[in-house]
Amino acid sequence: MTELKKRVVFVALAIVAMLLGLASRRYGSCLPSFLADNAGDAIWTALVYCGISFCVPHVKIITRAAMTLAFACAIEFSQLYHAPWIDSIRETTLGGLVLGFQFVWVDLIRYAVGMLFCVVIEAAVAQLGRRQQIV
């Protein structure tokens, strides 16, 4: 698959992830409690993975996964820092969605699960593509 096609796919997946993430917050009361509590962070990580993959589609999956997890963990640890300027950003809708509000260690596990989900799906799709080329 060409880099352009990969980028188009990652933009489409990012849009899906955004919609799912927003829906998980808006309609969380309609979901099973496990999903309502955990899906948002995993989906947010999937969005980050799509964004990184859009920017560097030629980089290996494992490297993009590491970049995703590093970014997500950096954002989570940034929540330990509270200064008026960054808290004012967090008070906005977009700032709150991107930066979060407080450090929660279990979010690190949720990020890892979201990233692993993306890696497994992309690797499976790539494997299927290679099989189809052989036949």
Query: What pLDDT digit, counting tens, does each position of 53-71 carry?
Result: 999 999 999 999 999 999 9
Q: How far is CA 132 from CA 18, 122, 125, in A?
A: 31, 15, 11
For residues 53 and 10, is the Cβ–Cβ distance under 8 A? Answer: yes
Give the count of domains, the chain.
1
* Amino acid sitting at position 64: R
**Residue 135 confidence (pLDDT):** 58
Both structure tokens of 124: 């499976």
Domain membership of residue 22 as a residue range? 3-134
Q: Which residue has the tokens 């260690």?
A: 105
pTM for this model (two decimals): 0.88
